[in-house]
Amino acid sequence: MVSIPATYDYRLVILSVLIAILASYVALDLAGRVTATRNQARFAWLVGGAIAMGAGIWSMHYTGMLAFRLPLRVSYHVPTVVLSLLAAIFASFVALFVVSRRRVTVLHVVAGSVLMGAGIATMHYTGMAAMRLAAHHHYDPGLWLLSVLLAVVISLAALWLTFHFREENKGRVFKIAVAVVMGLAIPLMHYTGMASVSYMPTNTAPDLSNAIDISVLANSAVILITLVILASALLSSLVDRRFSAQARALALSEQRYQHLFESNPQPTFVFDLETLRFLAANYAAIDKYRFSAKEFLAMKFTHLHPAEVLGRLLETAQSGLPLEEQYQRKDGVLLDLELSLRTITWAGKPAGLLLANDITERKRTEQMETERRNFLESITQNQALEDNLQQLVRILENQIQGALCSVLLLKPGRLCQVAASTFAKDMLLGMEAFRSEEIASALGAGADHKDLFFVEDFSASCAHRELRDWAVAFNLKSCWFAPVMKSGVQL
């Protein structure tokens, strides 16, 4: 019996190839999105991508079937057509699942290509089985087997290419080139399968239950719907990628801010401006205030500073000027602080960014300098000189723990007075043997020295041998010279 001659509408053949290329490009793009997402979002992209990709592959197959022309009326069994569509979606799901894995082995690719190839072959031959016409079909075993092997090999190549070009930072030109290669390969399997079949006429009327004739309008509608699905999937991927990029940029910005916040050497806090409850405290704040991070999160601003301090901080926030306040830690240490406040948005709510600069040492130094100047000024006043000197010794011995201090007044030509002494008498008597000019000159300070002069190591800095021997004998470590002032005039 002679087979029925068949022809092709090459316009539809070209259209089927273009649909395959578009479906391949969408598959590459969706593979990148599935890889980039996690958990429920990943599964949603996996299912949605499989539907879009499967619809594209099935539409290519369907268009290729319509390009196949026989001189007979051909109808299609709808349930069988739906099964062929489900097979295409299954094959696409397998493909996306394999290529979206973080790590893909050879075994994964081989197993995936077998399943995907089987799915595509099932789609193709199930779709052909949906044809209802007054003829029965016959397959050439060699071409049939070749078409199935092509489905597996093409699936293997598609999985390998998709895996290597799935990253979203790959160039668009590369993706288009890969999509063209894949889009040309997929129809190769389809038209090899079509070449394997021949139709013999029969006098038996076909079973047309649940079957429909495909008109040009229906064909156009199917192609249009497929293109809309593919375009929607591609657009969704592009939009999601943009949102993901913005989310990554925001997360990176937050990480950088968090790093700067935590590593800032200045104690820094964030607190809710409405509830005054602390929202965050960096490591410097934890170390300075001696509260743990957990304790800070259970505290309010008013646990550290009075409410009126916050009011004054809010007043000075616009000018940026710091506010000086004192805070006594729970270990009893009194801190002098410079507080600065900035208003920020934290987790969508107004918050205060509080910076606390410890100026305790600076204030202590300023106080010491004030006391020193006041004291030296008071020496020439009506107070008893000995009382003043005793006061100075106490100041010095309080500042230098464990040291013994003494004050000596030097005038040109002689040691004016030895007072407030806690030194041994023989030590002081030994020092009286030296002239004031010798002492000052030996230590590098002239008799008319105008500024505070400090000698850190007396014995090492002294150029006068007898004076140096005397210092070593009595373990004298350091000394300082300061001009005595009265009304701004050096005495």
Same domain, yes or no, for 300 and 326?
A: yes
| pLDDT value of position 251 | 64
Q: Are residues 33 and 152 in the same domain?
A: yes
User: Which of 216, 249, 282 is a domain's end point?
Assistant: 249
304 pLDDT band (50/70/90 cuts)? confident
* Neighbouring C-beta atoms of residue 467, cutoff 10 Å: 22
The pLDDT assigned to 340 comes to 87
Kindly report which listed range (27-31, 93-97, 336-340) carries the lowest average pLDDT score.
Answer: 27-31
Report residue 447's pLDDT band, with 50, 70 and 90 as the boundaries. Answer: very low
Do 243 and 108 share a structural domain?
yes
Is residue 332 predicted with pLDDT exceeding 70?
yes
* CA dist., res. 245 & res. 222, Å (int): 34
Residue 419 has pLDDT above 60, yes or no: no
Assess whether pLDDT exceeds 80 at residue 10.
yes
> What's the predicted TM-score (pTM) here?
0.51
Low-confidence winner among 218-232, 258-272, 306-320 (lowest mean pLDDT): 218-232
User: Are 57 and 206 part of one and the same domain?
Assistant: yes
Is 280 within the bounds of a domain?
Answer: yes
Considering only 24-28, 260-264, 375-379, which range has the smallest mean pLDDT? 375-379
User: From the centroid of its chain, how far is CA 471?
Assistant: 62
Q: Examine the domain organization and report whether 274 and 423 are in the same domain.
A: no
Q: Is 349 helix (H, G, I), strand (E, B) or coil?
A: strand
The larger pLDDT score, comparing residue 190 to residue 317, is at 190
Lowest mean pLDDT among 200-204, 312-316, 328-332, 439-443: 439-443
Determine the longest span between alpha carbons in the chain, in angstroms: 145
Q: In total, how many domains does the chain have?
A: 3
User: 178 lies in a domain?
Assistant: yes
Report if residue 293 sits inside a domain. Answer: yes
Residue (of 484, 478, 481, 479) closest to 453 by Cα position: 481
Instruction: Tell me: do 299 and 340 sit in the same domain.
Output: yes
The residue type of 468 is: R
Q: State residue 156's pLDDT score.
A: 84
The answer to whether residues 46 and 254 touch, using CB atoms and an 8 Å cutoff, is no
pLDDT tens digit string along 46-88?
A: 888 788 888 888 888 888 888 888 888 888 888 888 898 899 8
Residue 331, domain CATH:
3.30.450.20
Confidence bin at 470 (pLDDT 50/70/90)? confident
Q: Would 482 be classed as within a structural domain?
A: yes
* Beta-carbon contacts of residue 300 (< 8 Å; ≥ 6 apart): 271, 275, 276, 277, 278
Question: Residue 290: which domain range?
Answer: 264-358
In terms of domains, do 199 and 94 share one? yes
187 and 293, same domain (yes or no): no
**CA 53, 163, 148: angle at the middle one, nearest 5?**
60
Decide if pLDDT at 223 tops 70.
Answer: no
Cα 29 from Cα 26, distance rounded (Å): 5
pLDDT surpassing 70 at residue 173 = yes
Distances, alpha carbon 299 to alpha carbons 173, 269, 272, 444, in Å: 57, 12, 11, 56
> Does the pLDDT of residue 453 top 80, yes or no?
no
Q: Are residues 322 and 415 in the same domain?
A: no
258 assigned to some structural domain = no
Task: Please give the radius of gyration of the chain, using alpha carbons only, rounded to the nearest integer.
Answer: 46
- Res. 254: pLDDT tops 70: no
In a domain, 363, yes or no: no
Residues 461 and 353 in one domain: no
Residue 159: inside a domain: yes
Residues 122 and 185 placed together within one structural domain of the fold: yes
124 and 178 within one domain:
yes
Q: Which of 28-42, 170-184, 297-311, 315-329 has the highest mean pLDDT?
A: 297-311
Tokens of 477: 């470590």
Q: Which pLDDT score is estimated for 135?
A: 86
Using 50, 70 and 90 to split pLDDT, how confident is the model at 286?
Answer: confident
486 pLDDT band, cuts 50/70/90, is low
Listed residues 329, 358, 387: the one ending a domain: 358
- Mind listing the pLDDT tens digit for each residue in 335-369? 888 888 888 888 778 888 888 888 888 888 887 77
Q: Among 358, 386, 410, which residue terminates a domain?
A: 358
With a pLDDT cut of 70, the percent of the chain lying above it is 72
pLDDT exceeds cutoff 70 at 218: no
SS3 per-residue string spanning 42-73: HHHHHHHHHHHHHHHHHHHHHHHHHHEECCCC
Q: Which DSSP string do the residues of 208-255 spell out, in sequence order? A: -TTEEE--HHHHHHHHHHHHHHHHHHHHHHHHHHHHHHHHHHHHHHHH
Give the residue from 281, 277, 284, 332 showing the smallest Cα distance to 301: 277
Ramachandran angles phi, psi of 106, nearest 5°: -60, -40
In a domain, 19, yes or no: yes
